[in-house]
Amino acid sequence: MPIDPKEYSAADAAFREQIGVELQRSTATLNRIATLLRAGLAEPQPLKEFREAVDRVREAGWIVQQSLDCQEQKEISGLLFAHRARAVSSLLKHLREDLETITEDVASPLDELLESIAGFLDSARDCGLRKENAGQTQV
C-alpha cells in the first residue's frame, strides 16, 4: 500500500504548531524566571544548571534558525562548528582584554593562542569550502 504524502504534511503542520505553542509557553516562563532572578535569591547550583540548559537551548535554536534561513541545506554539524568557533574566538578575545587590565604579562601568550586559533579556524573553513566545492563539481 503506497504512503500518502498528505498524511505527512498534516502531521508536519500539527507538529510545527505544537512546537510553536511550546516555544511561546517556554518564552513566557523564561520571562517570569528572569523577573524572579533579578531578586538575587537563587541558589548557586540550580542557577548554574539553568544557565547551562539555557545556553544549550540557545545554541540549538540558533542552529535550527540558521538551517531554516539557508536557501541550500547545510549540515547541522557545520553550522554548529561555525557557531562554536565564533564563540571560542570571542571568549578568548574578551579574556585577553580582561587579563590585560590585570597584568600586561599575559598578553603575549594569549596573543599566540589567538593567532593559533585563528589559523585553525581558517584551516577548518578552507576544508569546509573544499568539501562544498567538491560536492558541487560532482553534481
**Is there a single domain that holds both residue 80 and residue 130?**
yes
Residues 71-127: tens digit of each pLDDT: 555 566 777 777 777 777 777 777 777 777 777 665 566 677 777 777 777 776 665
Other C-beta atoms closer than 10 Å to the C-beta of 83 total 15
In this structure, is residue 96 part of a structural domain? yes
Block residue for cell numbers 512546537: 19
* Domain of residue 91, residue span: 75-139
Residues 20-75: tens digit of each pLDDT: 999 999 999 999 999 999 888 889 889 989 988 998 888 888 877 877 776 555 56
In this structure, is residue 128 part of a structural domain? yes
In this structure, is residue 133 part of a structural domain? yes
Q: What is the pTM of this model?
A: 0.49
In this structure, is residue 57 part of a structural domain? no
- The domain tally of the chain equals 2
Q: How far apart are CA 69 and CA 67, in angstroms?
A: 5
In this structure, is residue 33 part of a structural domain? yes
**Is there a single domain that holds both residue 89 and residue 136?**
yes
